[in-house]
Structures are given as structure tokens and as C-alpha cells.
Amino acid sequence: MFTGKLSVVMPAYNESASIVKNVAEAVETLSGFGYDYEIVVVDDGSVDDTHSHAVQIAAQYGPKVRVVRYDDNRGKGGALICGTTYTTGDYIAFLDADMELHPEQLPLFLEILLAREADVVIGSKRHPLSNVQYPRIRRLYSAGYFALVWLLFGLPLRDTQTGLKLFRRRVLQDVFPRVLVKRFAFDIEVLANAHRLGYKIVDAPVTLRFGRKYGRITLDDIWTILVDTLAIFYRLRLLHYYDHVPSCSLAALRSRVAAHELIPDRQSATEKQHAAAAP
């Protein structure tokens, strides 16, 4: 039986067309589970109206939905770190704002985490029970990167890049102060450090429906991923950099993320009309 509070961090970049619908769907799904939960939406320096639309939907749900924003695009990893510092839950899940991985899968992740006494559960497209539909070129990228990661880090996993992940809070408190990569290799740095610190990581099957006609990863991004991944290996195996970075609370880490929470106006339209008519 799950007890405690679940925090869901949703990084979003230029998602104004779907953020209202997707946040509402996430709220409806999580409310149906009967969990104590919160959702933290992080606008990763979008150049559209993602943040204003997110605030619009947050106004309907009270403290269950919080919105955090910064002006410069820092990458998904930067958004996840930022959002996590605003969470209050005992368990923290990462959920992409595009909802290609639906939050209805989170009870299975929690069940696996508790049943196997794990500290981290990550979604795996390569799990034998997964049901995934995504482009062949993405499959090729994924397989190639998995082979590189297995060779360099020997993680006991079949996939590291799937967006749905679940952590006990203490894991991220120990790991995030050590993380330097904020973009595509972010997952590897997080998982390599969690593994190094002795946390138990297991994978879980996912259902994934690829919704974008074109992916966001370019050839330049692939080169950056390679360089960042090798840099993580260098810091971990040769420099032993991570051994010398102290842990700190997530609240203390917040001072480094230079973001601000957007507080929605939760007055109803009727309340506003009455306030305007008051003498």
C-alpha cells in the first residue's frame, strides 16, 4: 500500500498548445488514484505562452499544481533539477509534458519500487513487457546509445533515456548536487551517480506513443550527447570528481537554480465581479 506524498515534475518547452489539456489530464489521473500528490510544471525558458497557459490551468487546482519559470532555456535536465527543488513529496516522479508516457503508469512504478525495495524505478522501452511505438530512427539512436552506456558504465539497466522515472526523495537529494549536465546526457549522470552511491535501480515496462512528427534531436545534439557522456565517464572513473561533492537538501539547492514560482490568481470570475462592484 502506497503511503506518503508523490510529487510529479513536468518539464515543458514550447508546449503552449497542449499544456492546459495535459496538466488537466494529469490531475484527473492522479486524483483517481487517491494519492496525496502535487504537480510542479517547469517552463524551461519557452518562447511561446507555455507559462501563462500553465498558470491558467493551475488556478483551477489550488496548491495541487505549481508553476515555476526561468527565462533562459537550460534543457530538460535543468528543468527537472529546478522543479525538484520546489517539491515536497516523499517520492518524486519525472513526467514529460507532452504526455507520450501517460501518468496512468505511475501506480505500477510505485508498486515495483515498494515490492522490490528499490530506490529508483525507470521506464524502459527495451523491457520485454513494454508496448512502444516510435520511429525507426529513434530506435536506432536508442540502441546505439544503450550500447555505449553499457560499455562505459555497466549500469544494470536496459534503457536509460525514457522520460518516466520515479525516485525516493533521498536519492535526488544525494545525486542532484553532483550533476553538471543539464541536457541530453542528464539521465546518465543521474543514474551513474545513484548507482555509484549504492542505490537500487530497477526498470519497468512502459506504454509509449510517439506523438511528434519530427524529433527534437539533431546531429549536433548527438555529438553533444557523445561528448557529455564521455565527460561523465571521465569525471566518474578517472577524475573521481563525484566523490568530493557534498550532499545538500533540495531546498538549499533551490538557491542555485535562479527560477521563480508563478502564483496564479485563484479568484473565481464571480468573486472578481463582486470585488469590482464593491464600494
Instruction: Show me where the domains of the chain are located.
Output: 5-268
Topology of 5-268 in CATH? Spore Coat Polysaccharide Biosynthesis Protein SpsA; Chain A (3.90.550)
Give the single-character DSSP code of 213: S
Q: If we measure between CA atoms, which residue out of 98, 163, 95, 100 comes closest to residue 133?
A: 100
Grid cell for residue 277: 462592484
CA nearest neighbour of 51 among 260, 251, 215: 260
How many residues make up the chain in this entry? Answer: 279
User: Which cell numbers hold the place of 28?
Assistant: 484527473
Residue pair 22/15 in contact (Cβ under 8 Å)? The answer is yes
What nine digits make up the cell of 34?
Answer: 487517491
Q: pLDDT of the chain along its 279 residues, tens only?
A: 788 999 999 999 999 999 999 999 999 999 999 999 999 999 999 999 999 999 999 999 999 999 999 999 999 999 999 999 999 999 999 999 999 999 999 999 999 999 999 999 999 998 999 998 877 777 787 888 888 999 999 988 889 989 999 999 999 999 999 999 998 899 999 999 999 999 999 999 999 977 654 456 677 888 999 999 999 999 999 999 999 998 888 888 998 888 999 999 865 444 444 444 555
Burial category of 93 from C-beta neighbours within 10 Å (exposed 0-12, middle 13-18, buried 19 and up):
buried
The pTM for the full model equals: 0.91
Q: How many CB atoms lie within 10 A of CB 18?
A: 16
Q: What is the DSSP string of 157-218?
A: -S-S--S-EEEEHHHHHHHGGG----STTHHHHHHHHHHHTT--EEEEE-EEE---SS-S--
Look-up: residue for cell 470585488?
Answer: 275
In the chain, the amino acid numbered 69 is R
CB atoms within 10 A of CB 48: 14
CB burial class (10 A; 0-12, 13-18, 19+) of residue 96?
Answer: middle
